[in-house]
Structure 1
Amino acid sequence: MPEIVERAEQPYVAVRAKATGDLLAWAEQEGLEWDADGDRWGARLEVYKSDPLEVPDRDQWETELLFRLRG
């Protein structure tokens, strides 16, 4: 699956919300179906690749969003 990377100098919550929206829109455009039933997901992860002890400013954190496809 292609990777969507969102990097911006914006507050963490705003960037995460935009990245999630972009990923959901891309999947719909591609005809992909998530392993989800409404707001209940089979697997949806946020992986924090930054160590909060080393990077205390969460606006600088690198986060990976992983959503499982149905099938």
Structure 2
Amino acid sequence: MNNSMINPSVVDLLEKTHDRYSLVLLSAKRARQIIDGSKPHVDANSHKPLTIAIHEIDEDAIKFERVNEEAK
């Protein structure tokens, strides 16, 4: 784990998603699901949906599939 004041660090999260764009999309989509009533998959010390989503990504509690589309 990277020693950082922010836990989990962006560096650690990028190891899960491989790029910032995917990290932002995944965390925003999951936060919206939590806002809409989905139960969190981890115990987080926060009530903020985005913070919970970030902890879920860090703890591999949610999965995503990368789709490669060829240019048309």
Does TM-score exceed 0.5, indicating one fold? no
TM-score, normalising length: structure 2? 0.35
